[in-house]
Amino acid sequence: MGNIIKVQKGTKDILPQEMGLWYTMEDNARRIFTNAGYGEIRTPIFEATELFARGVGDTTDIVNKEMYTFEKSERSLTLRPENTAGVVRAFIENGMHRLSAPVKLWYKGPMFRYERPQAGRQRQFHQVGVEMFGIKDATADAEVIELAVSYLKSLGLNDLEVEINSLGCPNCRENFKTELKKVLKPYFNDLCEDCQNRYEKNPLRLLDCKVDSCKAIFEKPDVKSVIYGDFICEDCAEHFNQLKSYLDALGIKYTVNKLLVRGLDYYNRTVFEIKSNNLGSQNAVCGGGRYDSLVRNLGGVDTPAIGFAMGMERLYSLLQKKEPEKLTAYVVSTNQTEALKTVKYLRDNNISTDFDFAGKKFTKQMEKASKIAKFAVILGEDEIANKTVSIKNLETSHQVTVPQAELLNNL
Ligand code: ATP
Ligand code: MG
């Protein structure tokens, strides 16, 4: 054999045995987003480089360091590092602003970022996300956050923390930037290199820094009082308060994190992140926010918008750690014909079921049942003779014997 060509660093094959969880992630997305009136959109994997420079922002890590860019016929093209810019381009190009608001779209698919690969961080990874266009009210922000939480809950992920913040509008943000720069000036030389670069270009982004020495500076009393000061204008404060009251009404727990600014340049007002306590340092599963000026900046008709994106590989690793879902029933029988018939009957009635194909001893079958099912459906000699069935709840050990016609009612 010649040289073996290997998969590229930071990329992965997804193999058949992993597909079950991927189907679950994809099916739940389709069901939950469709149910809320979102239509799926699939945009191309590559776009004009300029789309991302303008649409993601040329002060971001994504655009500065992480893009896969190549030339073809003297055009600069880039593999999409995220999908919001592509969806906005499609929104504009297809005249979707003429549709009645809100226009709701969802997507899933691969994204590409040239990053240092590590757990939860790949060079080709997948995102699932939604974008809602045309509504500036906080009801839209509440729906989008609620949808993200519902989707995660549908996957059985509950140990989540929702963080929200308001970045204000371009007006109030200017004041904040000025104040922030002023208070950080004496500490400039202690900031990391990235932050020194961001200081002029995009001071808000400093707050996003994960370097400990920078984080320590944000804790200094004078800096802290600026970060935690109320800089946002009345309208933005009102919008943020509305959002909080809607989230309260929906029973969604959240914390306000004043350091949450998110990596992308285009956000205004609401930004949010959802973290899982079960992931290591790459613990953000979902990031989103409002981007009211992006459609206009990309040449479209002024349209407010909000959306989120979730990292599917990070969801995948959370799902893997979960206990596998138990079957509802495991048929335990000494008679294989009766077992086959009962398994078929239960499956026909949408009850997840299995049994022991090799017809092992009764006690072995019961052991297996208690490992993988919630109920043992027992068809011993007595039951078969009397046309009854015994049903043992394997969590409580409670057992009943009922006529076979009553089986479904007892599961
Ligand atoms: P991070 O701070 O972890 O780099 P980000 O702010 O760059 O995240 P977004 O651009 O908001 O992330 O993307 C949304 C989600 O996509 C993230 O919360 C994460 O779950 C996932 N994600 C981002 N980059 C990667 C990657 N390189 N590999 C796997 N998942 C990723
Ligand atoms: Mg990143």
| Cβ-contact 85, 55 below 8 angstroms | yes
Beta strands in 251-387 (DSSP E): 255-256, 268-276, 284-290, 305-311, 327-333, 353-355, 373-379
Determine the distance separating the centroid of ligand 1 and the alpha carbon of 159, expressed in angstroms: 19
| Cα→Cα distances 244→87, 150, 241, 341, Å | 28, 17, 5, 54
Mean pLDDT of the 357-368 span: 94
| Ligand 1 pocket test, candidate residues 115, 121, 259, most atoms within 8 A of CB | 121
Helix/strand/coil for 125: strand
Residue nearest to atom 24 of ligand 1 (CA): 121
- The confidence score (pLDDT) of residue 69 equals 97
Percent of the chain beyond pLDDT 70? 99
pTM of the full structure: 0.81
Q: Residue 61: is its pLDDT beyond 80? A: yes
Q: Residue 85: is its pLDDT beyond 70? A: yes
Confirm or reject: Cβ of 315 under 6 Å from ligand 1: no
208 Cα nearest atom in ligand 1 = 2
Determine the distance separating the centroid of ligand 2 and the alpha carbon of 10, expressed in angstroms: 14
- The confidence score (pLDDT) of residue 187 equals 87
Mean per-residue pLDDT of the chain: 93
- The confidence score (pLDDT) of residue 278 equals 75
Rounded CA gap, 279 and 272, in Å? 18
| Ligand 1 pocket test, candidate residues 79, 111, 257, most atoms within 8 A of CB | 111
pLDDT interval class at 89 (50, 70, 90)? very high
Q: Residue 402: is its pLDDT beyond 90? A: yes
pLDDT digits (tens, 9 = 90+) for 265-284: 778 999 999 998 877 777 89
> What residues pair up with 105 in beta bridges, in sequence order?
39, 131
- What domains does the chain contain, in order, with CATH numbers? 16-169+232-318 (3.30.930.10), 327-410 (3.40.50.800)
pLDDT digits (tens, 9 = 90+) for 343-360: 999 999 999 999 999 989
pLDDT digits (tens, 9 = 90+) for 4-59: 999 999 999 999 989 999 999 999 999 999 999 999 999 999 999 999 999 998 88
Which among 58, 86, 56 has a CA at the least distance from the CA of 266?
56
Which among 45, 80, 90, 77 has a CA at the least distance from the CA of 305?
90
Which among 264, 298, 180 has a CA at the least distance from the CA of 228?
180
Determine the distance separating the centroid of ligand 1 and the alpha carbon of 354, expressed in angstroms: 39
Which phi and psi angles does 163 have, rounded to 5°?
Answer: -115, 135
pLDDT digits (tens, 9 = 90+) for 129-143: 999 999 999 999 999
82 Cα nearest atom in ligand 1 = 10
121 Cα nearest atom in ligand 1 = 28
Mean pLDDT of the 63-89 span: 96
